[in-house]
Structure 1
Amino acid sequence: MLAALVARLVALDVRVAHWDEARVGYWILHTADTGWWEYRPIIHGPFVQHVTRWTFAVAGVSDFTMRLPVALIGSALPATALLFRSRLRDVETIALGVILAANPLLLYYSRFMRSDLPLAAFAFVTLGAIVAAIDTDRRRYLHLAAIAFALALTTKENAVLYPVSWLGALTMLAVTAVVIAYRAGDDPLESVTRPGIAALRRFHSWRRTLLVLPGEMLVVLVFFYAPRSPESDAGLWSALADPALLPGVVWEATIGSAAAVVTWAAPDKRAHPDISSLGDLGPLLVSYAPFFAHFLAVIAVAAAATTIMALAGLRWRRRPIVTFCGWWALSGVVGYPYVADIKAPWLAVHVVVALAIPAAVGLVVVHDRLRQARLDGRDVATVGLAALLVTSGVFVVGSSAVVTYQQPPHGLNIVAQGGQPGGDVRPVLDNIQTVAGDDDIPDVLFYGDLAVDNESYNDRSGAAANWYYRLPLPWYTETANATVISAPDLESLPADPPPIVIANSTYRGDLEAELPGYSVRETAIVLRPQPVALRAFGFSYQLKGKTYVFFVDQEAVAGAVSDDG
Structure 2
Amino acid sequence: MNPSRVESRFDRVALAVGALALVALAVRLVGLGARPVHWDEARVGYWSLRYLESGYLTYRPVAGGPLVYILTRTSLSLFGTSDFALRLPVALVGAALPLVALLFRSHLDDDETVAFAAVLALSPLLVYYGRFARGDVLAIAFALAAFGFGLRLADGGGRQNAYGLAAAVALAIASSGLGIVALACLAVAGLLVFDHAALLRSSDPAAMRLGSLAARVRGNSTPAARAVLVFVGLYVFTFAPRAGVTDDAGLYSPGTIIAAIDVALFDSVRRFLGVRVEHRYPGGTHEYLPYLADFLETLASAALPVTLIAVAVFVADRYTSGGPRTVVAAAVYWAGATIVFVPMLTEVSAPWLGVYAVVPLAIPAAVGLAALARWGRRALDAGDAPRVAAVALVLLALVAQTGAVATSEVYAPSDRDTRMAHYAQPSHEFTEFRDNLSTWVGPTDDDAVDVVYYGSSMYVGDGVADFPPVPERWGERLPMAWYVHRTGADTRSVTSPVELRESVDTTPVVVASADERSTLAPVLEGYVAHEYDTGLWGRPIVVFVRK
For the 8 Å contact 1:116–1:156, the answer to whether it is kept is: yes
Tell me which residue corresponds to 1:95. Answer: 115
SS at match of 2:463: helix
Tell me which residue corresponds to 1:144. Answer: 164
Tell me which residue corresponds to 2:27. Answer: 7
Tell me which residue corresponds to 1:214. Answer: 228
Q: Which amino acid aligns with 1:412?
A: D
Tell me which residue corresponds to 1:307. Answer: 307
SS at match of 1:410: coil
Matched, 1:399 2:405: yes
SS at match of 2:133: coil
Matched, 1:547 2:530: no
Kindly state the Cα deviation for residue 270 of structure 1 after the two structures are TM-superposed: 7.2
Aligned counterparts of 2:27 and 2:281: Cα–Cα separation in 1? 35
Kindly state the Cα deviation for residue 373 of structure 1 after the two structures are TM-superposed: 5.2
Matched, 1:479 2:495: no
Q: Which amino acid aligns with 2:189?
A: A
Tell me which residue corresponds to 2:520. Answer: 511
Tell me which residue corresponds to 2:97. Answer: 77
Kindly state the Cα deviation for residue 58 of structure 1 after the two structures are TM-superposed: 1.9
Q: Which amino acid aligns with 1:411?
A: R
Aligned counterparts of 2:545 and 2:114: Cα–Cα separation in 1? 53
Aligned counterparts of 1:122 and 1:467: Cα–Cα separation in 2? 32
Gaps of 5+ in 1: 274-283, 529-544, 556-565
SS at match of 1:167: helix
For the 8 Å contact 2:241–2:251, the answer to whether it is kept is: no
For structure 1, which segment, 351-360 or 194-203, has the greater mean C-alpha deviation from structure 2 after superposition?
A: 194-203
Aligned counterparts of 2:290 and 2:396: Cα–Cα separation in 1? 32
For structure 1, which segment, 62-71 or 517-526, has the greater mean C-alpha deviation from structure 2 after superposition?
A: 517-526
SS at match of 1:190: coil
Q: 1:457 aligns with which of 464, 481, 484?
A: 464
Matched, 1:347 2:353: yes
Deviations 1:119-165, CA, capped at 9 Å, x for gaps: 11111111111212333521111111111211112111232223422
Kindly state the Cα deviation for residue 404 of structure 1 after the two structures are TM-superposed: 1.3
Tell me which residue corresponds to 2:139. Answer: 119
For the 8 Å contact 1:271–1:341, the answer to whether it is kept is: no
For the 8 Å contact 1:78–1:100, the answer to whether it is kept is: yes
Kindly state the Cα deviation for residue 384 of structure 1 after the two structures are TM-superposed: 5.0
SS at match of 1:459: coil
Matched, 1:133 2:133: no
Aligned counterparts of 1:370 and 1:191: Cα–Cα separation in 2? 41
SS at match of 1:513: coil
Matched, 1:227 2:241: yes
For the 8 Å contact 1:452–1:464, the answer to whether it is kept is: no
Task: Quickly say closer, same or farther: Cα 1:448–1:290, change in 2 above 3 A.
Answer: same
Kindly state the Cα deviation for residue 453 of structure 1 after the two structures are TM-superposed: 5.1
Matched, 1:432 2:437: yes
Aligned counterparts of 1:270 and 1:17: Cα–Cα separation in 2? 32
Kindly state the Cα deviation for residue 194 of structure 1 after the two structures are TM-superposed: 6.6
Kindly state the Cα deviation for residue 514 of structure 1 after the two structures are TM-superposed: 2.8
SS at match of 2:280: helix
Within-5 A mapping of 1:36-435: 36-179=56-199, 181=200, 186=201, 190=204, 192=206, 196=210, 198-232=212-246, 234-239=248-253, 241-242=254-255, 245-262=256-273, 263-266=275-278, 268=280, 287-317=287-317, 318-372=324-378, 385-407=391-413, 409-434=414-439, 435=441
Deviations 1:159-218, CA, capped at 9 Å, x for gaps: 222342233213322444444x3xxxx46x637567555544443432221122111111
Aligned counterparts of 1:151 and 1:114: Cα–Cα separation in 2? 14
Kindly state the Cα deviation for residue 69 of structure 1 after the two structures are TM-superposed: 0.8
Kindly state the Cα deviation for residue 437 of structure 1 after the two structures are TM-superposed: 2.6
Task: Quickly say closer, same or farther: Cα 1:384–1:269, change in 2 above 3 A.
Answer: farther
Tell me which residue corresponds to 2:4. Answer: none
For the 8 Å contact 2:60–2:469, the answer to whether it is kept is: no
Task: Quickly say closer, same or farther: Cα 1:410–1:507, change in 2 above 3 A.
Answer: same
TM-score, normalised to structure 2, is 0.88
For the 8 Å contact 2:136–2:179, the answer to whether it is kept is: no
Kindly state the Cα deviation for residue 361 of structure 1 after the two structures are TM-superposed: 0.5
Aligned counterparts of 1:177 and 1:462: Cα–Cα separation in 2? 47
Aligned counterparts of 1:370 and 1:200: Cα–Cα separation in 2? 46
Number of residues of Structure 1 aligned to a counterpart in Structure 2: 515
Tell me which residue corresponds to 2:320. Answer: none
Aligned counterparts of 2:467 and 2:217: Cα–Cα separation in 1? 47
Aligned counterparts of 2:156 and 2:460: Cα–Cα separation in 1? 62
Tell me which residue corresponds to 1:281. Answer: none
Deviations 1:32-53, CA, capped at 9 Å, x for gaps: 2222221111101111111111
Kindly state the Cα deviation for residue 388 of structure 1 after the two structures are TM-superposed: 2.8
SS at match of 2:75: helix
Deviations 1:27-84, CA, capped at 9 Å, x for gaps: 1212222222211111011111111112222222111111111111011110010000
Q: Which amino acid aligns with 2:97?
A: L
Gaps of 5+ in 2: 1-20, 318-323
Deviations 1:242-262, CA, capped at 9 Å, x for gaps: 4xx443221111111011011
Tell me which residue corresponds to 2:500. Answer: 493
Q: Which amino acid aligns with 2:32?
A: L
Kindly state the Cα deviation for residue 88 of structure 1 after the two structures are TM-superposed: 0.6
Aligned counterparts of 1:520 and 1:95: Cα–Cα separation in 2? 52
Aligned counterparts of 1:451 and 1:350: Cα–Cα separation in 2? 34
For the 8 Å contact 1:5–1:75, the answer to whether it is kept is: yes
Deviations 1:448-486, CA, capped at 9 Å, x for gaps: 244425233222323333221010001011000112222
Q: 1:520 aligns with which of 529, 533, 538?
A: 529
Task: Quickly say closer, same or farther: Cα 1:489–1:234, change in 2 above 3 A.
Answer: closer
Kindly state the Cα deviation for residue 269 of structure 1 after the two structures are TM-superposed: 6.1
Task: Quickly say closer, same or farther: Cα 1:144–1:238, change in 2 above 3 A.
Answer: closer
Aligned counterparts of 1:366 and 1:316: Cα–Cα separation in 2? 13
SS at match of 2:155: helix
Aligned counterparts of 2:391 and 2:292: Cα–Cα separation in 1? 30
For the 8 Å contact 2:59–2:241, the answer to whether it is kept is: yes
The percentage of counterpart residues that share the same residue type is: 31
Tell me which residue corresponds to 2:477. Answer: 470
TM-score, normalised to structure 1, is 0.85
Aligned counterparts of 2:150 and 2:107: Cα–Cα separation in 1? 12
SS at match of 1:268: coil
For the 8 Å contact 1:153–1:159, the answer to whether it is kept is: yes
Task: Quickly say closer, same or farther: Cα 1:460–1:177, change in 2 above 3 A.
Answer: closer
SS at match of 1:106: helix
Task: Quickly say closer, same or farther: Cα 1:247–1:486, change in 2 above 3 A.
Answer: closer
SS at match of 2:432: helix
